[in-house]
């Protein structure tokens, strides 16, 4: 069943197939209810399960993790777990570019 209005902005909802990406990797197109005003996408439970399945198959499941910031000398230290390192091909001794993107995001480019 399609909701009449968007929960977020009250915009019109249409049913359509939409691209779904996780960590910049496309998982394919999935049926969703999409708000024509704000772009909010809502997937049914079945579709969410399907997306989870594809994410697991592609090795993307659970790549977003919480980590605690440590301290080494004057610098702060953030541990990157093995799965994320493997996903991006990061290795010890490698030089990476670290820069802020806005006030609440740090980007590490390999
Ligand atoms: Zn909306």
- pLDDT tens digits, residue range 41-66? 999 999 999 999 999 999 898 888 89
CA of 42 to the centre of ligand 1 (A): 10
| Residue 20 shares a structural domain with residue 49 | yes
Question: Residue 17 corresponds to which tokens in the numbers above?
Answer: 């197939």
CA dist list (Å): 101 to 24, 80, 81: 16, 18, 21
Is 99 part of any domain? yes
| Residue 102 shares a structural domain with residue 76 | yes
Output the average pLDDT for the chain.
92
CA of 19 to the centre of ligand 1 (A): 17
| Residue 78 shares a structural domain with residue 105 | yes
| Residue 52 shares a structural domain with residue 78 | no
| Residue 105 shares a structural domain with residue 77 | yes
Is 4 part of any domain? no
Please give the tally of structural domains in the chain: 2
CA of 52 to the centre of ligand 1 (A): 24
Whether this model's pTM surpasses 0.95: no
Strands (E) across 1-110 are located at 13-22, 25-35, 41-42, 70-72, 75-77, 97-100, 106-109
CA of 34 to the centre of ligand 1 (A): 8
């Amino acid at each position: 069943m399609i909701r009449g209005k968007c929960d977020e902005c009250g915009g019109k909802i249409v049913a359509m197939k939409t691209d779904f990406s996780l960590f910049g990797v496309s998982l394919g197109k999935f049926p969703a209810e999409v708000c024509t005003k704000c772009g909010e996408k809502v997937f049914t439970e079945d579709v969410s399960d399907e997306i989870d399945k594809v994410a697991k198959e592609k090795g993307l499941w659970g790549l977003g993790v919480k980590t605690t910031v440590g301290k080494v000398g004057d610098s702060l230290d953030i541990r990157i777990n093995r799965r994320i390192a493997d996903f991006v091909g990061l290795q010890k001794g490698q030089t990476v570019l670290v820069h802020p993107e806005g006030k609440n995001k740090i980007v590490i480019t390999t």
